[in-house]
Structure 1
Amino acid sequence: MTIKWDEITFDNVSNLEKALKIFDQVFPVEVRESHDIFLKSIQYAKRNKPNNFRFLIGFEGEKMVSFATGHYLADVNVGFIVYIFTDPVVRSKGLGTKTLLKLEELLNKDAFLAGYTSLKAVILETETEKQDCIKRNKFFERNNYKQYKNIDYLQPPLHFGASNIPLNIFIKNMQPNEINDEEISNAIRSIFREKYYIVNEIDKDILKLCLKTMGINNEALFNN
Structure 2
Amino acid sequence: MTAEINWTEITNDNQMNLESVLKLYDQSFPIDVRESHDVFRKGLKYATSSFPNSFRFLVGMEGDTVASFATGHYLADVNTGFIVYIVTNPLVRGNGLGSTTLLKMEELLKKDAISAGHSALRFSILETEMEELVHTEAEKEDCIKRERFYEKNNYRSHESINYLQPPLHGDTNGIPLNLLFKSFQGSQTITQIEISDIIQAMYREKYYEVNRIDKAILSKCLNKMGIDHTSF
Which residue of 166, 172, 183 maps to 2:176?
Answer: 166
Q: Indicate conservation of the 8 Å contact 1:127/1:168, yes or no.
A: yes
Inter-partner Cα distance in structure 2 for 1:109 and 1:9: 16
Which residue of 24, 32, 50 maps to 1:48?
Answer: 50
Which residue of 147, 156, 160 maps to 1:146?
Answer: 156
1:98 counterpart residue number? 100
Q: Indicate conservation of the 8 Å contact 2:24/2:89, yes or no.
A: no
1:125 counterpart residue number? 127
Q: What 5-or-longer segments of structure 2 have no aligned partner?
A: 132-138
2:186 counterpart residue number? 176
Matches within 5 A, 1:1-224: 1-91=3-93, 93-129=95-131, 130-131=139-140, 132-161=142-171, 163-178=173-188, 179-221=190-232
Deviates more, 1:102-111 or 1:173-182: 173-182
Deviation at 1:208, TM superposition (A): 0.4
Q: Indicate conservation of the 8 Å contact 1:76/1:186, yes or no.
A: yes
Give, as a single letter, the amino acid of the residue that structure 1 aligns with 2:59: I
TM-score, L = length of structure 2: 0.92
Inter-partner Cα distance in structure 2 for 1:32 and 1:181: 30
TM-score, L = length of structure 1: 0.95
Give, as a single letter, the amino acid of the residue that structure 2 aligns with 1:93: N
Q: Deviations over 1:152-206 (max 9, x none)?
A: 1110100113632111011010111233221111000000011111111101111
Deviation at 1:59, TM superposition (A): 1.1
Give, as a single letter, the amino acid of the residue that structure 1 aligns with 2:193: E
Q: Indicate conservation of the 8 Å contact 1:157/1:165, yes or no.
A: yes
Deviation at 1:11, TM superposition (A): 1.3
Q: Deviations over 1:91-110 (max 9, x none)?
A: 45100000000000000000
Deviation at 1:87, TM superposition (A): 1.8
Give 3-state SS (helix, strand or coil) of 2:27's partner: helix
Inter-partner Cα distance in structure 1 for 2:214 and 2:51: 24
Deviation at 1:220, TM superposition (A): 3.2
Q: Indicate conservation of the 8 Å contact 2:173/2:221, yes or no.
A: no
Q: Indicate conservation of the 8 Å contact 2:46/2:210, yes or no.
A: yes
The runs of 4+ residues in structure 1 deviating greater than 3 Å are 89-92
Inter-partner Cα distance in structure 1 for 2:126 and 2:9: 20
Q: Indicate conservation of the 8 Å contact 1:54/1:106, yes or no.
A: yes
Q: Deviations over 1:15-36 (max 9, x none)?
A: 1111111111111233311111
Give, as a single letter, the amino acid of the residue that structure 1 aligns with 2:183: N
Deviation at 1:90, TM superposition (A): 4.2
